[in-house]
Amino acid sequence: MIPRFQAGQEQHKWLDALLEVGAIIIEKVATPASIETFNRDLQPEYERVGAGFQNDFNGYRTRRVGGIAAHSHEFQTLFTHPDVLSLANGVLGPRCETIRVGSTTAIEILPGEDAQVIHADDTIYPKEYLPFEVQISALWALDDFTEENGATRVIPGSHYNGPHPDDAEQPSFSAEMPRGSIVVYLGSTLHGGGANRSDKPRRALVNTYALGWLRQEENQYLTLNSDTVSSQPDNVRRLLGFQVHGPNLGVWPQDPDGKWFES
């Protein structure tokens, strides 16, 4: 089973449960107003570019949008949520000086979509050289997640198995949760979107947090234009990657800590 918690309760147990099981659910973290705003902002983008990401892996009845920081200011409320950042820093902090966002994706699974192949997100990196967790994922429920509408399926404990091929035969559990909740899982935990057998779309936002010295999955420096970046608060820009890792890695003249002149 996936350990389940209520927002603001038993927070001292969250990190240990995530490391032990590989995934946890925290119910009703985001406010209804925040979810409403985000869904409203992203709907035109699903219509405009969502079908462009359709393929065997993503599905052919699923619409996706990347570069989320450019499409909704409400995104920063979600991906800088202190409870989520606490988990990200708890998992990744021992291996880096700063963390950063790896990818940002809004997902709309339409009725009739089949279940996604079971996979681990961290296979984008050469994990055979990195024998520790390199990222975690935060998947926000923008609609109620149910077995019927394609709630993400997770294989608890799969993070102990090391690099593994897609394996749909292992027992998986559906991350059913109310709108505004979140399932957080390690980069090495096997999971996949469920089949949508309902008559309505199932929307979600997933973003990853990665070790600050790794290259980001989504190139924020090219995805976002300078006006979008300059309009963001300092903590958001830093999470998007606009800061140096340590004293030397990623320096540039406009570094907010002035390390360009010290490197």
- Rounded Cα distance, 23 and 243, in Å: 29
What confidence score (pLDDT) does residue 168 get?
54
Instruction: Map 229-251 to HEC letters.
Output: HHCCCHHHHHHCCCCCECCCECC
**Whether 99 contacts 56, CB under 8 Å:** no
Of 61, 53, 170, nearest to 119 (Cα)? 170
How far is Cα 37 from Cα 46, in angstroms, rounded to an integer? Answer: 15
Q: What is the DSSP letter of 28?
A: S
- Helices 11-21, 82-92: axis angle to 10 degrees equals 50
Give the distance from CA 226 to its chain's centroid: 23
Q: What is the pLDDT along the chain (263 residues), one digit of tens a residue?
A: 999 999 999 999 999 999 999 999 999 999 999 999 999 999 999 999 999 999 998 889 999 999 999 999 999 999 999 999 999 999 999 999 999 999 999 999 999 999 999 999 999 999 888 889 999 999 999 999 999 999 999 999 999 877 665 565 788 999 999 999 999 999 999 999 999 999 999 999 999 999 999 999 999 999 999 999 999 999 999 999 999 999 999 999 988 999 998 87
Cα distances from 254 to residues 224, 244, 257, 261, in angstroms, run 16, 10, 9, 10
pLDDT at residue 221, as a whole number: 93
Q: What share of the chain is helix, strand, coil (3-state, %, to 5)?
A: 30, 20, 45
Kindly provide the b/e burial profile for residues 162-175, where b requires at least 16 CB atoms within 10 angstroms of the residue's own CB: eebeeeeeeebbbb
- The Cβ of residue 4 has, within 10 Å, a number of other Cβ atoms equal to 15
Q: What is the pLDDT of residue 163?
A: 63
pLDDT score, position 222: 94
